[in-house]
Amino acid sequence: MSLEDSPSLEDFSDDFLSPPPDKVDKKRRFSLILVSLVLLIVILLGINFAQSGAYAQLAGKGSLSGYAVNESGDAIAVEIFIFGTDITGLSGDDGYFEIKNVPSGERSVIIAFGDIATEKIVILDAGGNTDLGTVTVPTELEIDY
């Protein structure tokens, strides 16, 4: 490139160059990103705490589990009701059930197969699991005359 073809200083005047970015805009953008990240971390920590056993203990809730079988000892699918609450659950085909977030204290648990049910009185500990073990649920109604 010859000297005549090279750009002059006028070609590099302020009209052709953009002004440097405003430092206040950079600080504001950085602050917004930082606050957003801190807020996200707080939300994620809150979700993690809500799913932990510590939350259940503070909230006074526990869980209930067990297996349901018929008179022959075969696993059956049942419905579980916590009396005095709107908490219900279903067992799997293997008879296993687990119900979480049950208020702690003495509870009446109704385990039903169709229209037939059995009741267990349990004491649930806050933050813990109360295992009912194997519960035999009648599948045929016996009527005494």
CA–CA distance, 48 with 46 (Å, rounded to integer): 5
Which run of H or E residues covers position 57? Answer: helix 53-59
According to the model, what pLDDT value does residue 47 have? 84
Ranges of each domain in the chain: 9-50, 60-136
Q: What CATH number belongs to 60-136?
A: 2.60.40.10
pLDDT in tens, 5-46: 776 666 666 555 566 666 778 888 889 999 999 999 999 988
Residue type at 14?
A: D
Query: Which strands, in side-by-side order, build the sheet including 88-90?
Result: 88-90, 79-82, 105-113, 116-124
According to the model, what pLDDT value does residue 91 have? 92
Which run of H or E residues covers position 108? Answer: strand 105-113
Report the DSSP beta bridge partners of residue 129.
63
